[in-house]
Amino acid sequence: MTILLTGAAGFIGMHVAQALLARGESVVGVDNVNDYYDVALKEARLARLGEHAAFRLERIDIADQGALTPLAGGVDRIIHLAAQAGVRYSLTHPEAYERANLAGHLNVLEFARSIGDGLTNMVYASSSSVYGGNTKLPFSVDDQVDNPVSLYAATKKANELMSHAYSHTYGLPQVGLRFFTVYGPWGRPDMAAYIFATKILAGEPIPVFNHGDMQRDFTFIDDIVAGVIAALDRPSTADEPRHRVYNLGNHRSERLMDFIGLIEEALGRKAEIDFQPMQPGDVQATYADIAASQRDLGFQPTTPIAEGIPKFIAWYREYHRV
In Å, the largest CA–CA distance within the chain is: 58
Residue 144 inside a domain? The answer is: yes
Examine the residue annotation and report whether 319 is marked as an active-site residue of this protein: no
Which is higher by pLDDT, 147 or 246? 246
Q: What percent of the chain has pLDDT over 90?
A: 91
Radius of gyration from C-alpha coordinates of the chain: 19
Can you tell me the mean pLDDT for 233-249? 91
d(CA 12, CA 285): 22
pLDDT band of 258, cuts 50, 70, 90 = very high
Q: Which of 36, 37, 124, 152 is catalytic?
A: 152
Residue 150 inside a domain? The answer is: yes
Residue 80 inside a domain? The answer is: yes
- Domain membership of residue 125 as a residue range: 2-180+220-251+289-302
What's the CATH number where 7 sits? 3.40.50.720
Residue 314 inside a domain? The answer is: no
Range of lowest pLDDT (15-24, 85-94, 95-104, 286-295): 85-94
pLDDT band of 241, cuts 50, 70, 90 = confident
pLDDT of residue 237: 81
d(CA 82, CA 52): 21
- The pLDDT tens digits for 275-308 are 999 888 778 889 999 999 999 999 999 999 999 9
Residue 91 inside a domain? The answer is: yes
Sheet of 243-248: strands edge to edge? 55-58, 26-30, 2-6, 75-80, 121-127, 174-179, 243-248
Phi, psi values for residue 244, rounded to 5°? -130, 150
- The pLDDT tens digits for 112-123 are 999 999 999 999
Number of domains, the chain: 1
pLDDT of residue 296: 96
Nearest-CA neighbor of 243 among 126, 129, 132, 151?
126
Residue 283 inside a domain? The answer is: no
Residue 63 inside a domain? The answer is: yes
